[in-house]
Amino acid sequence: MTSRSARRVPVARRLEDVALELFATQGFDETTVDELAVAGGVGRRTFFRYFPTKLDVVLGELDEGRAGLVRALAAEPGDDPVAAARAAFLAVNHYADAELPALRRRLGLIEDVPELAARATVRYRDWEQALASDAAGRWGVDVGGLRAQVFGRAVVAAMRAVFSAWHTRPEADADALGALVEEAFDALSRGFSTS
């Protein structure tokens, strides 16, 4: 399987790497687009060709991830949306060891910078709708109905919890992330009733 960074345009990947490093060391609000462009070895206009705003340097990966999730869901057979979502999330969250520091920085920024957290929530709605649509198709129900909507929101909430739990464990590697995804889907499959 191809790593996530290998699929990125080299200039965009370089800009993203230096931006995440600067955001982590200087702070998101304190870092300017001009500083990002200089650190990435490009001009301001070139920076904006790849990222419309500095928010997109951090959050653009969420859009790419959603597109990958939609493709992965479409490739999964069967009528069980939980099994399909489990396989799809494992597929789209395959990271090489070298990609983990950037992932940790991105997660930290999304959790710690209020503006990024708010904007990420808007993007997570698209993830929820992708999952609701897939589940509705597998179940043969309306995508706007409660069952499909609860499913989409529950899965995204579970995956956000997975990333938060993984992020707080600095020793955790890519295998640990996969294990947390599996654990979350086991919980979703069983439900939370104590009976």
- Residue with the bigger pLDDT between 8 and 69: it is 69
pLDDT score at 8: 55
What integer pLDDT is reported at residue 180 of this predicted model? 96
pLDDT, position 193? 63
Identify residue 68 by its one-letter amino acid code. Answer: G
Instruction: Delineate the domains of the chain, giving CATH numbers in brackets.
Output: 58-190 (1.10.357.10)
Q: How far apart, in Å, are the Cα atoms of 88 and each of 62, 94, 138, 150? A: 15, 10, 15, 18
Contact 101, 192 (CB under 8 A): no
Query: Is residue 61 very low, low, confident or very high in pLDDT (cuts 50, 70, 90)?
Result: confident
pLDDT tens, residue by residue, 80-103: 999 999 999 999 998 998 899 999
Band (pLDDT 50/70/90 cuts) for residue 191 is confident
Q: What pLDDT is stored for residue 110 in this prediction?
A: 94
Report pTM.
0.87
3-state secondary structure 130-190: HHHHHHHHHHCCCCCCHHHHHHHHHHHHHHHHHHHHHHCCCCCCHHHHHHHHHHHHHHHHH
pLDDT digits 0-9 by tens, 101-151: 999 999 999 999 999 999 999 999 999 999 999 999 999 999 999 999 999
